[in-house]
Amino acid sequence: MRILIIEDDRMIGEGLRRGLLDEGYAVNWLQDGAAALTALSDGQADYAAVLLDWGLGECSGLAVLKAARDSGNAVPVLIVTARDSIRDRIAGLDAGADDYLVKPFDFGELKARLRCVIRRAAGRAETGLVHGALALDPIGHRVSLNGADIALTAREFALLQAFLERPSVVLSRAQLEERLYSWDDSVESNVVEVLIHGVRKKLGASTIENVRGVGWRIGPAICGTQASPSPRG
């Protein structure tokens, strides 16, 4: 899934970017409020969540947040800032933030809070995703079929997670590319098909089904023994 970082401190921004990339997220990073306004004000950006700094110069993070909410953009927002007063926390949450984290912070806590706001936005309380005999653990980055761990690449994992989070929705190639890749990634024309082929090879041909002319969706819930999955290791 794709995360937008809005942070003007290069060291912090780069640390967040690298850390989230290592966790399998696609990451876009903006360093000023004006660019953030453009990215969020139309309400159409397909981000799983936004990490938003408060101090962005002339156009503050709070102004960006208010503009996004005024335009109808409901993307989950986690404010990450050095402003630690109760008054500031109340102002940030009342402006539409879903959570508030004070710098300096532990990266493990940031990841947990990020997962939490994404779950809440999706209307889920549980952390794992289950589809019949298929289970995906976003925290441990594990996939199992009939209780046996299956080894997926980071992008295959992200692709499967995209389908499991919205099991009744058909996702187009453009939607999947936008979710899986950052702005500066080089994306080949057949990359989605290659990833789908890899997931089907490891989990079964019926795991992801094609909807001709539209895109793909998760297949029927897998029950019982699935033929020839590739176990972890």
pLDDT tens, residue order, the chain (233 aa): 889 999 999 999 999 999 998 888 889 999 988 888 888 875 555 788 999 999 887 788 999 999 888 888 889 999 999 999 999 999 999 999 999 999 999 999 999 999 999 888 877 766 788 899 999 998 788 999 998 999 999 889 989 988 998 888 899 988 888 878 776 666 777 889 999 999 999 999 999 999 998 999 999 876 654 444 544 44
C-alpha span between 26 and 30 (Å, rounded)? 14
Other CB atoms closer than 10 Å to residue 216's CB: what's the count? 21
pLDDT tens for each residue of 106-153: 999 999 999 999 888 877 766 788 899 999 998 788 999 998 999 999
Helices (H) and strands (E) in the chain, counts: 8, 11
Any bridge partners for residue 26, and if so which? Answer: 2
Backbone torsions φ then ψ of 20, nearest 5 degrees: -75, -35
Helix pair angle (173-180, 154-165), 10° resolution: 120
Sketch the domain layout of the chain as residue ranges: 2-122, 129-218
Query: Can you give the pTM of this predicted structure?
Result: 0.69
Please tell me the class of the 2-122 domain. alpha beta
**What pLDDT was estimated at residue 224?**
52
CATH class of 129-218: mainly alpha
Predicted pLDDT at 102 = 94
Q: How many residues does the chain have?
A: 233
